[in-house]
Amino acid sequence: MEYPQLKLDNQICHRLYMASNRIIRNYRDPLIQLDLTYPQYIVMMALWEKDGITIADLLEKTAIDGGAMTQILKKMTDKSLLSIVKDENDKRKRIIKLETHGSELRHQAAAIPDKIRCSFSHMTDQEAQQLIALLDKVNQEP
């Protein structure tokens, strides 16, 4: 008996898996130059967008698992990229603040998105925007 629903060619998830792996591989070399992993880069982009946010806000913005975020923040603190301080208004909350080195990396990282976009030169800007919209739908909570 045939099961077409089990063929890899019929799977959305497998295509997403392959695309994700390819994209992360494309980031490897530029991020090595910054001494960042891809999850650390995601955290840095969130902080470059808005510094001084709570850990809860960072978790929401990045969609990184809480347990993984703890390890990521520890390593980034050890690299002097950021610091974690108590919120002056609510001592239970922790605020993530960029250190000087973390802020300076922003300038070095500015060219990375264009480098990654160039690795998908066969895709038009319109197609890229459509893909972003479709992926937003995939990642939307039901």
pLDDT at 90: 85
For residue 25, the enclosing domain spans 7-36+111-142
Is pLDDT of 142 > 80? no
13 and 61: one domain? no
Q: In the numeric block, which tokens belong to residue 14?
A: 């497998």
Is pLDDT of 54 > 90? yes
95 and 125: one domain? no
CATH number of the domain bearing residue 61: 1.10.10.10
User: CA–CA separation, 51 vs 45, rounded Å?
Assistant: 10
pLDDT in tens, 29-39: 999 999 999 99
**Selected residue with higher pLDDT from 119 and 47:** 47
pTM, two decimal places? 0.88
Q: Is residue 2 part of a domain?
A: no
Residues ≥6 apart with Cβ < 8 Å to 122: none
Q: Is residue 1 part of a domain?
A: no
The partner residues of 85 in beta bridges, in order of sequence, read 95
Q: How many other C-beta atoms can be found within 10 angstroms of the C-beta atom of residue 58?
A: 21
Q: How many other C-beta atoms can be found within 10 angstroms of the C-beta atom of residue 84?
A: 13
pLDDT in tens, 76-95: 999 999 999 998 888 889 99
